[in-house]
Amino acid sequence: MNSTVKTIAPVLIATLSSVAAWAFPFGPPNGYTVAPGDKPGVACTQCHAGTPLNGGGGSVRLLFPAGLTYTPGQAQTINVVINDAVAAIYGFEMSARLETGPSTQQAGSFTAGPNQKVVCSNNAVQPPEGCGGTGIQWLEHTQPSLSNTIAVQWTPPTGSSGNVHFYVSANAANGDNSPRNDHIYAADYVLTPASASTANVPVVTGIANAASGAATAEAGSWIAISGTNFAPAATTWDNFIVNNVFPTTLAGVTVAIDGRPAPLSFVNPTQINALVPATNTLGNVTVVVSNSAGSSAPASAVLAAASPGVFTFSQNQGRYLAGVVLDSSTSFEYLAPAGMLGGSAQSRPARAGDTILLYATGFGPTTTFLNPEIAASVAYPLAHTGPDITAPLAQVTIGGQAAQVLFCGIVSPGVYQLNAVVPQGVTAGDQPVKVTLLSGPSVTQTVFIPVQ
């Protein structure tokens, strides 16, 4: 391609290059979801090779307006949300099946929106009279999307049809003019018929920073949601992290924050622990909790650029910071009074000169973005907020004396780590710890570490 063309039509060239990256820029063949009878465990990686399914460090999610429920015959708009750090363009294919026949029975019907089509089992576009045979439909793109959020229309079956399974595959294409090394993601969801009763619908009574209890949080930080009618029993994410992707449904419970599905680590009847999904919104955002009984009334949370809070041990009413003290470069003990954590957890007070590691959430942007949906162990420092790149990222005092800060940054989704050296001359006993970020906010909690 000559330089004249590059100069005259850069936008056109960029568009054509992106489209050329697709194996199927105008929509894939039918049957490339992970539904039974389609391509479970494979999806679009059959054509877009180089990265395993769900191995690109991102995800695809479906955001349902009424949570994981549907009202028979009542149309709804579903958002397909594709998160990927390097994607240039996006595409998708999805299908809805009845639980009684997930490989043979269509659930409801899709209506094609802009740059979309509904195809049948013969790979033809659905005719006006609908798909023949089993009637199964696949909704997919007809042109790649420049947005990672794609709205689709689905009308549930009109009768009493039981649970509905949704299967979606998504392509986060890198725009390198080949079908190689694009990132393919897949997910599936189960919707239950909405109950006519409102007796057990979730009710949200509070949303707080999971570490500090403050009313503000940060995108990617941990929050605790309190209320009633959430889950029938306590459930953790321990058995539901698949391919390092955090679950957004636990025990039938989902949480939408600012219209985006939130990763969940714990649910019980009255509490949910969640990670705020990635969003650029600051200020008030809506929070909706859904389960098989329905969806809560929208609650409000406040998001800030940083909302620092430090985690504490649950013993002694949260008096002591959650942390460890290094005995050597390869060994540590918990930073707590000896014996406070029980016989199975060795703990001790800190001494002057010890390096301590403290844990927190909501400390603000880091030099490298960490996707809150993906399990990862990293060490990304806080991003500098001023012209002096040598300025400490945080100021820490222990017992009123300045401590040397060795590191301050994120180490896993929602969890920040602060490494500091206990200053000389600190008095023995419980000493208060204060943390102020270079960006301005301070930890407002009154917390202590034991010193000997």
Residue type, 329: S
Task: Tell me, yes or no, whether 297 and 314 share the same domain.
Answer: no
- The answer on 219 and 346 residing in a single domain is no
| pLDDT tens figures, 226-276 | 999 999 999 999 999 987 889 988 998 989 898 788 999 999 999 999 999
Residue that terminates a domain, selected from 193, 223, 240: 193
Placement of tokens 């390096």 in the chain: 355
Are 136 and 31 within one domain?
A: yes
Asked which of 254, 282, 303 is the last residue of a domain, the reply is 303
Looking at the fold, whether 240 and 158 belong to one and the same domain comes out as: no
Indicate whether 189 and 209 sit together in one domain: no
Of the candidates 156, 172, 193, which is a domain's last residue?
193
Say yes or no: 282 and 427 in one domain: no
Q: Both 397 and 427 in a single domain?
A: yes
**pLDDT tens string 304-328:** 999 999 999 999 999 999 999 999 9
- pLDDT tens track for 66-109: 777 888 999 999 999 998 988 999 999 999 999 888 889 999 99
How does pLDDT run across 125-183, given as a tens digit for each residue? 999 999 988 899 999 999 999 999 999 999 999 987 888 989 999 999 987 767 778 89
Q: Which domain holds residue 358?
A: 310-451
**Residues in Cβ contact with 232 at an 8 Å cutoff, skipping those fewer than 6 apart:** 251, 269
Total number of domains in the chain: 3
User: In which region does residue 26 sit, left (phi positive, over 0), alpha (psi from -120 to 50) or beta (all else)?
Assistant: alpha
214 contacts: CB under 8 Å, gap ≥ 6: 208, 307, 309, 444
Same domain assignment for residues 436 and 290: no
Q: How far is CA 358 from CA 322, 336, 405, in A?
A: 6, 12, 11
Clarify whether residues 332 and 355 are in a common domain: yes
Assess whether 294 and 315 both reside in one domain. no
Q: Are residues 279 and 341 in the same domain?
A: no
Q: Is 345 among the domain residues? A: yes
pLDDT tens per residue across span 343-382: 889 999 999 999 999 999 999 999 998 989 889 999 999 9
Residue 125, domain member (yes or no): yes
Number of H helices, E strands in the chain: 2, 32
Are 352 and 442 contained in the same domain?
Answer: yes
Q: What CATH number is associated with residue 19?
A: 2.60.40.4060
One-character DSSP codes across 286-304: EEEEEETTEEPPPEEEEE-
> Has residue 318 been placed in a domain?
yes
Helix (H, G, I), strand (E, B) or coil at 363: coil
CATH classification of the domain holding 276: 2.60.40.10
